[in-house]
Structure 1
Amino acid sequence: MTQADKVSGLRTGLRGLTTRGRSFLAAGVTASLCAYVFGQDALLQVGVLLAALPLAAAVLLLRTRYRVAGGRRLTPHRAAAGQEARVHLRLDNVSRVPTGLLLLEDKVPYVLGPRPRFVLDRVEPRGFREVSYRVRSDLRGRYPLGPLQLRVADPFGMCELTRSFSASDVLTVVPQVQSLPTVRLAGEWAGHGESNTRTLALAGDDDVIPREYRHGDDLRRVHWKSTARYGELMVRREEQPLQARATVLLDTREIGHRGSGPASSFEWAVSCAASVGVHLMERGYRTRLLTDTGLSVPGPGAGGVGTVAEAAGLLLDALAVVENSDGGGFGRAEEVLRLGGEGLLVAVLGSLDDEQVARLGRLRRRTGGAVAFLLDTGTWAGLRHLLPGTEDDEAVRQVRALREAGWTVLSAKAGDSVPALWRLADRSAKAAPYRNEVGE
C-alpha cells in the first residue's frame, strides 16, 4: 500500500466517524489542550485515550478483511397497482472470519415507502442472513430497487463505513386487471372469435394451393401435378387455423381526460384496456395494444412474441409506463389500422368532438366488430352529477352517431365497473340504453 493510499484510507475513516466518535475525538482534543495549558498530566492521559478510541475504531474497520456478497429477489417482479410485493435480501459472508455489526439499507423510491433498514449482529464465516420487506404503490410505473448499501460499524459505535453493491432490480407496477365475463360480441364472426379452429378446406386436387418446395419439407407432401405444371418441385400447403385478431385502442390524449392521480379517468381507461386485452388473449385472440400516438404492442404469435403469458406481460409492461399524450386526434392510430385493422376493435375513449366521432364511424367499416367504452370524463372531475335517467345532450348525440355507424357503445362514468359494462356488450342480451344501470 502506497503512502497516498494510506492517506486516502485515513480520510475515509475520519469521514465515517459517527456522532459519538466525533464527540469522543473532540472531547479528547479539548482535554489534551486543557492539560497542556494547565499542566495536568492526568488530564492529558484521559484526552489521549478519548481521542485514540475513535481513531483506533476507524483503523480497525479499514483493515477489515472479511468479504460479503449481497443478492435480491422480488416476488412478484410484476405487481398490480395497490398490490404488495415482497423483496428478499440475502447477505453471504464469503470470508473466513466472522463479521462485526452490519447495517443494511436498500434504496427504494419514495412512492414505495420508507427506506428499509436492518441490523445484523454477526455473521459467521461462510454463513448468510436473509431479511425481507414489503413495498406497495398505487401508481403505475417502473421503480428501481437498489443498490443495496452495507454499513459496517465497530462494536462501540464510533465509526461506520458504507459499502454499496452494484446490482439493482426493477419492480414493474402494472394497472389492475379485472376478470371479465365471457360474452358474444356483435360482429365477432368476422374476427373468427369462437371459430378459431377454422382451417383451409381442401376438397380435392383442384382445390389444393401449392407452394414451392423448401428445405426440410416432407416429401410425402409433394404435389406432382403442380410440379409437372410449373417445372419445379411443389408441395401442398399445411392446413393452418385462422386465428382471431383483435385490437385494443387506448385514448391517451391529455385533452380527452379529467381528474388526477389514481382516481382520474385516464387511470380508469388504462385499467380497462389492460382488463380487455388480457381477457381477449385468454379467449384465443391475437390481441395487440394500440394508442392514439401510433404505439403498437404485438399480440401472441406476432413480432416474435410466443405464448399468451408473454404477450400479456408485454401488454401490461407497456401500460405500466403509458402516459398522457399531447395529441388531438387518432390520425396515427388510423394509419396503423389501415395496414391491418381486420378483426375486433375495442376502443377505450375519452372526450370526443364531432370530427373524431365521424372519423371513428368511418373507421368502423374496416373492422369485423367494434366496441367502444366512451368515458363521461366530466364525472371524474366532479363537474357533472347526473341523476338517474338524465344525460348530457351532446353525449347522447355522440353515442347515437357511433351506434348508427355500427359501434357497440358502453358509456362509462366514474365508479362504473368494467366487468359490468363488458357484460352489456353481449350481443345475445337485450340492447342496453345509453345510461348503463351499473349497480353492481
Structure 2
Amino acid sequence: MNDLFWLILVLFFVAAALRSELFFYLLYVVVGLQLLARFWLRRGARQLSWRRSLPPAAFPGEPTTVEIELRNTGLLPVPWLTLTESIPPALRNPSTVREVLSLGANERRVLSYVVAGQRRGYYRIGPLTLATGDVLGLDERTLARPENDALTIYPATLPLAELGLPAALPYGTLATNQRLFSDPARPVGVRPYQAADGVRRIDWKTTAHAGSPQVRRYQPAIALETLIALAFSRGEYGGRFAYDTMERALVAAASLAAHLAARRQPVGLCTSGRDPAIGAAALNVPVGHGRAHLMTIMGTLGRLEMAAEGDLPATLGAAAAHLGWGSTVIVITGQRGPELLAKLLPLQRRGLSLALILAEPTPADLGLPREYGITTYGLWRDGRPSAW
C-alpha cells in the first residue's frame, strides 16, 4: 500500500507539472482501483462467517473429525482466503492446518481434518485465523476470533486384575437375607401365589404348567451406592514418580467406575483435582447410574489436572453427606498414616463402608487401616497384585 501511495503521489506531481491528460487519466485509474479494492475487501470481510464443529469428547485413539464451515453471505466473491488452524501437538502432527481457497457469491464450503489423542486430557483447538485480500493484491486483512473449542479425551480403563485389584470387590449391590427389596435381574425360581403378591409377578407359563398361580422369586438385595474419591493434588502424592503414580490412580478410578456401571450399580465421583474447563476445583459428580452418567464421570476424569494443593478428606466430607447408610466410599490416594485414618474414621462411624486404595504403599501402610476394619488395597505402577 505504501508503494501505491508513492505511485499516486508521483503521478500527481508529474500530471500537474506537465499538464498531461494521460498522466491525469492514469492517476484517476490508480486511485479508482485503490478505492475499489478497499471497498471490495471491507464488504467481503464483513460478509464472511465461519464456525467450527466437533464432538465434545472422544476415547483414546479414536479418530475425531473436526469440521470448519466457511460461508460468504455477500454478492461479491472472496478472491482468496488463507485459513490457519492451531491444534495441540498431542492431537495431530503437524500441529497446524493451513488451507488456501476462494469463495464465490453466497457460497458455502466445509473443510475437515481428523485428530486423535492417545493420552487423556483437555485440549483446546484453535484459534482459527483467516487472511484475505483483494484480487489485485493491494490490501490484506486478517480475521481472527479468540474463541477456542475444546476436546476431552477420556481416560483409559483397564481390567481390575491389571491394576492389581481383586475382581470380586465388596462394592455395589450385596446379597442379604433381609428382604429390603427384590432384584428383578436376579431370579431364583417360583413359588405359589399369595394375596399380597402383585399380578405383575405372576409367571404365566409356570402357572399354566402347574395348574395353580405361581409367582417369580427374586434374590433379595441391598442396592448400595458407591462414591469414588480420588486424590489428585501434588501434596497428596510423594516420590520421584508422582505424576505416573497419579495417572495410574486416575486410571484406577475410571476402571472402577466402568466396572460398577457395567454391573448397573450407582456410582459417583469426588476429587481434589482441578478442572480446566471451569478454571477451578473439579465439581463433584453425584451418585447415579446409566451410561450417560458414566460418561459424565469419564469426562471429569479426562479433563482433570493436578492441583497445587488439595484436601481430599474435606472434599469427601461434603460429597458423602447425602449417602445412605451402608453405602461404600472408595478412597484412592497417595496419602497414608494416622492423619489420613483420623479423617476417614468419622465416615465409618456414620455407617459408611470404607475401601482404601493406597498408591505405592508399604506393608505398614496397608496394615494400619485394616486394624480398624477398613478394606485396604495397594496400587503399584507395575501392577503387582495386592495382598488382600
Gaps of 5+ in 2: 177-181, 202-218, 273-280
1:399 correspondence with 2:366:
yes
Aligned amino acid, residue 39 of structure 2: V
> 1:102 pairs with 81, 86, 99, which one?
81
Task: From the superposition, tell whether residues 247 and 88 of structure 1 become closer, same or farther in structure 2 (CA, over 3 Å).
Answer: same
Aligned amino acid, residue 354 of structure 1: P
- Structure 1 Cα separation of the partners of residues 282 and 3 of structure 2: 65
> 2:108 pairs with 128, 141, 163, which one?
128
User: Any idea what the Cα deviations from partners look like across 1:222-245, whole Å, max 9, x if unmatched?
Assistant: xxxxxxxxxxxxxxxxx9975453
Q: Give the corresponding residue for 1:176.
A: 155
Q: Give the corresponding residue for 1:345.
A: 329
In the TM superposition, residue 315 of structure 1 has moved relative to its aligned partner by: 0.9
Q: Give the corresponding residue for 1:411.
A: 379
- Structure 2 Cα separation of the partners of residues 322 and 243 of structure 1: 32
Equivalent pair of 2:82/2:100 in contact (CA under 8 Å): yes
Q: Give the corresponding residue for 1:140.
A: 121
User: Any idea what the Cα deviations from partners look like across 1:112-166, whole Å, max 9, x if unmatched?
Assistant: 675533211344x5543221234566562263656x5544422222223455689
Question: What SS does the aligned partner of 1:62 have?
Answer: helix
User: Any idea what the Cα deviations from partners look like across 1:265-315, whole Å, max 9, x if unmatched?
Assistant: 3333333322321232122111100225895312435xxxxxx22102211
User: How many residues get paired?
Assistant: 345
- Structure 2 Cα separation of the partners of residues 52 and 78 of structure 1: 52
1:77 correspondence with 2:79:
no
In the TM superposition, residue 324 of structure 1 has moved relative to its aligned partner by: 1.7
In the TM superposition, residue 412 of structure 1 has moved relative to its aligned partner by: 1.8
In the TM superposition, residue 255 of structure 1 has moved relative to its aligned partner by: 1.0
1:330 correspondence with 2:313:
yes
- Structure 1 Cα separation of the partners of residues 200 and 62 of structure 2: 55
Q: Give the corresponding residue for 2:259.
A: 279
Q: TM-score, normalised by structure 2?
A: 0.67
- Structure 2 Cα separation of the partners of residues 112 and 281 of structure 1: 29
> 2:293 pairs with 311, 335, 356, which one?
311
Task: From the superposition, tell whether residues 66 and 261 of structure 1 become closer, same or farther in structure 2 (CA, over 3 Å).
Answer: farther
- Report matched runs for 1:16-415 at 5 Å: 22-29=1-8, 31-32=10-11, 35=14, 53-63=33-43, 67=47, 69-74=49-54, 76-80=55-59, 85-94=64-73, 98-106=77-85, 114=95, 116-123=97-104, 125=105, 127-135=107-115, 138=119, 140-141=121-122, 143=124, 145=126, 150-162=130-142, 170-181=149-160, 184-188=167-171, 191=174, 197=185, 242-258=222-238, 263-292=243-272, 295-301=283-289, 308-319=290-301, 320-321=303-304, 323-324=306-307, 326-328=309-311, 330-337=313-320, 339-340=322-323, 342-360=326-344, 363=347, 366-368=351-353, 370-372=355-357, 374-376=358-360, 395-404=362-371, 405-413=373-381
Question: What SS does the aligned partner of 1:89 have?
Answer: strand
Question: What SS does the aligned partner of 2:340 have?
Answer: helix
Task: From the superposition, tell whether residues 219 and 399 of structure 1 become closer, same or farther in structure 2 (CA, over 3 Å).
Answer: closer
Task: From the superposition, tell whether residues 31 and 240 of structure 1 become closer, same or farther in structure 2 (CA, over 3 Å).
Answer: farther
In the TM superposition, residue 58 of structure 1 has moved relative to its aligned partner by: 1.3
- Structure 1 Cα separation of the partners of residues 59 and 155 of structure 2: 5
In the TM superposition, residue 356 of structure 1 has moved relative to its aligned partner by: 0.7
Gaps of 5+ in 1: 1-21, 209-217, 222-238, 302-307, 377-391, 426-430, 433-440
In the TM superposition, residue 344 of structure 1 has moved relative to its aligned partner by: 3.7
- Structure 2 Cα separation of the partners of residues 219 and 189 of structure 1: 30
Question: What SS does the aligned partner of 2:288 have?
Answer: coil
CA RMSD after TM alignment: 4.8
Identity of aligned residues (%): 20
Q: TM-score, normalised by structure 1?
A: 0.60
Equivalent pair of 2:70/2:109 in contact (CA under 8 Å): yes
Equivalent pair of 1:177/1:271 in contact (CA under 8 Å): yes
Equivalent pair of 1:66/1:97 in contact (CA under 8 Å): no
Equivalent pair of 1:26/1:51 in contact (CA under 8 Å): no
Task: From the superposition, tell whether residues 326 and 35 of structure 1 become closer, same or farther in structure 2 (CA, over 3 Å).
Answer: same
Question: What SS does the aligned partner of 2:336 have?
Answer: coil
Task: From the superposition, tell whether residues 144 and 359 of structure 1 become closer, same or farther in structure 2 (CA, over 3 Å).
Answer: same
- Structure 2 Cα separation of the partners of residues 140 and 364 of structure 1: 34
Equivalent pair of 1:24/1:51 in contact (CA under 8 Å): no
Equivalent pair of 2:158/2:251 in contact (CA under 8 Å): no
